[in-house]
């Protein structure tokens, strides 16, 4: 997916603050690290905003996160996988994403087992205990990637993970204060005031850090503040007095940004209480109600962000037949564990509910792992995913899938073939997207052809569609980011809108809203002093 951000959109500002002897690719870049008091404190979006703030003022800035745990992945132009958040941060900086920006990506397959992506490629599938024995080797890749980025940049903004004070895990830290100490990086500590307990979050974290680590914390950031920030002036004074660190910003709670989330926490929370994640509340006048199955190993869920950004669309997540209700369409998303999540569908009754919905004429769509589930059979003879040799699929499409050890990771260009139903409205139109999947599917009639993979010309038929066009699927993530394609499918469901959204425009507007809000809430003069060691 292209985010459409142009680095050349620069404004005069901070480049003059970089000392002359620190400019140019021959000098190791300055660094700024951002750590959080908790997971989901807002580190990723803050780094995104800071990358854009400095990039549009002419600074060569690059994002970096040593280790990311997420099934929401992006594909680099060379086919390497990195976390979606780092791809977003690269776009904000006006850069093409590279695997050095996220050398280690951990993709959970079960509660204590994950696939480890090292330098963009599958390296091993490990139990949690085994992973910790590999930290010394992985640390070498972390430091080498950071060194390469610093050699080609003027500023590297480093994102931590979770909390830097998980004391039982700290000995094997390769992503938080170990990185800050390696780079001797000034560090910002972010807390989420919306959760409550902001003083315990920030001060408790400070007090649990080792003295040499605490000395690197140069500023506190209070994130997700609702209401009038002037009401928190006493809070700022208390934090600064007790923490002996300045509060560098109080950032407002920003809603309805059309920007991808780093992980599925927000989806899991929404599904657990049956809440919509879209801008239109169920029953409040939405024309179209779309239910996404909340797989336990949900992957690349931002595929559906362009749908929820449209007017009059209610997009929600369902984890039971009761939550499924009677939508206009059901979406089966990607998953890191197709067979396990297919079993989950049967155990919860969702498999039967989806089948009944489709047989009654409902629209059902599967992307990647969800597409595989729609077929007749999934075989895993080499036990690539699990101990199972295979499972019967839902039988809604005449395809069969066979897993192999080879993983397909490509940025792609494609087009729609001649076929019946709604896709005829976008026949031959160019599509962009990406592939991340294990296994190949055969059978049925393909409805899309992949024209390019990682810029290389190919001719690869993909996908399958029912005769009436109601049930379809394919391997292409990012399809709904194509405006004409998205609008054509929504109209087939009965959607009518005079305010159809451009995904690229919506993304740019959301990014600028984020950046402007962060910049106005931060003490940028103080931040520049912290980064460049200069006095104003």
d(CA 531, CA 154): 11
d(CA 44, CA 339): 31
Catalytic residue among 51, 141, 328, 368: 368
Q: What is the dihedral of CA 464, 469, 475, 478, to 10 degrees?
A: 160
**DSSP, residue by residue, 328-372:** SEEEE-EES-HHHHHHHHHHHTHHHHHHHHHHTT-EEEEETHHHH
d(CA 419, CA 224): 47
Per the document, the length of the chain is: 536
Residue with tokens 């879209």: 278
Which helix (H) or strand (E) segment is 508 a member of? helix 503-521
Helix crossing, 43-55 with 503-521: angle to 10°? 90
Residue with tokens 């369409």: 329
Look at residues 149, 129, 124 and name the one whose alpha carbon lies nearest to residue 66: 149
Q: What radius of gyration do the chain's Cα atoms show?
A: 23
CB 367 within 8 A of CB 479: yes
For the question of residue 51 being annotated catalytic, the response is: no
CB 375 within 8 A of CB 463: no
SS3 163: coil
Q: Which residues pair with 316 in a beta bridge?
A: 276, 291
Q: How far is CA 527 from CA 2, 81, 139, 213, 535, in A?
A: 30, 32, 29, 19, 11
Catalytic residue among 141, 328, 477, 487: 477
Residue with tokens 């179209």: 288
- How is residue 48 annotated by DSSP? H
- Check the CA dihedral 214-241-219-197 and report its sign: positive
- How is residue 522 annotated by DSSP? B
For the question of residue 477 being annotated catalytic, the response is: yes
**DSSP, residue by residue, 24-45:** STTSPPEEEEEEESSTTSSHHH
d(CA 375, CA 317): 22
User: Catalytic residue numbers?
Assistant: 368, 477
């Amino acid at each position: 997916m292209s985010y459409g951000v142009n680095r050349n959109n620069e404004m005069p500002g901070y480049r003059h603050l970089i000392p002359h002897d620190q400019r140019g690719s021959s000098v190791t870049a300055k660094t700024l690290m951002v750590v959080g008091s908790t997971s989901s404190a807002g580190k990723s979006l803050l780094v995104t905003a800071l990358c854009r703030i400095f990039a549009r003022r002419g600074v060569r800035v690059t994002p970096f996160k040593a280790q990311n745990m997420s099934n929401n992945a992006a594909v680099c132009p060379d086919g390497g996988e990195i976390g979606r958040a780092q791809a977003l941060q690269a776009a904000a900086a006006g850069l093409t994403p590279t695997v050095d920006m996220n050398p280690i990506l951990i993709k959970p397959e079960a509660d204590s087992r994950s696939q480890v992506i090292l330098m963009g490629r599958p390296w091993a599938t490990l139990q949690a205990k085994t992973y910790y024995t590999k930290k010394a080797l992985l640390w070498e890749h972390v430091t080498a990637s950071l060194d390469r980025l610093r050699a080609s940049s003027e500023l590297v903004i480093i994102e931590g993970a979770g909390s830097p004070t998980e004391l039982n895990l700290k000995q094997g830290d390769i992503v938080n204060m170990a990185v800050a100490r390696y780079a001797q990086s000034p560090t910002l500590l972010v807390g989420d005031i919306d959760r409550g307990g902001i003083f315990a979050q920030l001060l408790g974290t400070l007090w649990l850090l080792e003295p040499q680590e605490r000395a690197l914390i140069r500023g506190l950031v209070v994130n997700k503040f609702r209401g009038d920030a002037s009401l928190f002036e006493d809070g700022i004074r208390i934090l600064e007095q007790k923490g002996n660190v300045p509060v560098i910003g109080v950032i407002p709670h920003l809603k309805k940004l059309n920007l991808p989330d780093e992980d599925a926490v927000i989806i899991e929370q929404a599904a657990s209480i049956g809440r919509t994640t879209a801008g239109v509340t169920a029953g409040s006048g939405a024309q179209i109600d779309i239910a996404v199955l909340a797989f336990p190993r949900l992957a690349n869920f931002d595929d559906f962000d362009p749908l929820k950004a449209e007017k009059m669309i209610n997009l929600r997540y369902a984890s039971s037949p009761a939550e499924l209700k009677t939508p206009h369409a059901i979406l089966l998303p990607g998953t890191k564990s197709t067979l396990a999540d297919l079993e989950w569908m049967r155990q919860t009754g969702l498999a039967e509910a989806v089948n009944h919905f489709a047989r009654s004429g409902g629209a059902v769509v599967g992307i990647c792992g969800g597409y595989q589930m729609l077929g007749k059979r999934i075989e895993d003879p080499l036990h690539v995913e699990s101990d199972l040799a295979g499972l019967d699929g839902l039988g809604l499409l005449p395809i069969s899938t066979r897993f192999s050890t080879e993983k397909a990771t490509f940025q792609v260009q494609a087009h729609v073939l001649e076929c019946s139903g709604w896709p005829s409205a976008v026949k031959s139109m160019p599509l962009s997207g990406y592939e991340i999947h294990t296994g190949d599917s055969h059978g049925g009639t393909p409805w899309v052809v992949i024209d390019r993979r990682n810029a290389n010309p190919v001719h690869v038929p993909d996908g399958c569609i029912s005769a009436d066009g109601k049930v379809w699927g394919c391997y292409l993530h990012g399809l709904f980011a194509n405006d004409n394609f998205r609008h054509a499918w929504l109209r087939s469901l009965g959607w009518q809108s005079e305010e159809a959204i451009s995904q690229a425009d919506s993304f740019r507007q959301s990014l600028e809203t984020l950046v402007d809000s962060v910049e106005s809430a931060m003490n940028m003069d103080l931040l520049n002093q912290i980064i460049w060691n200069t006095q104003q």
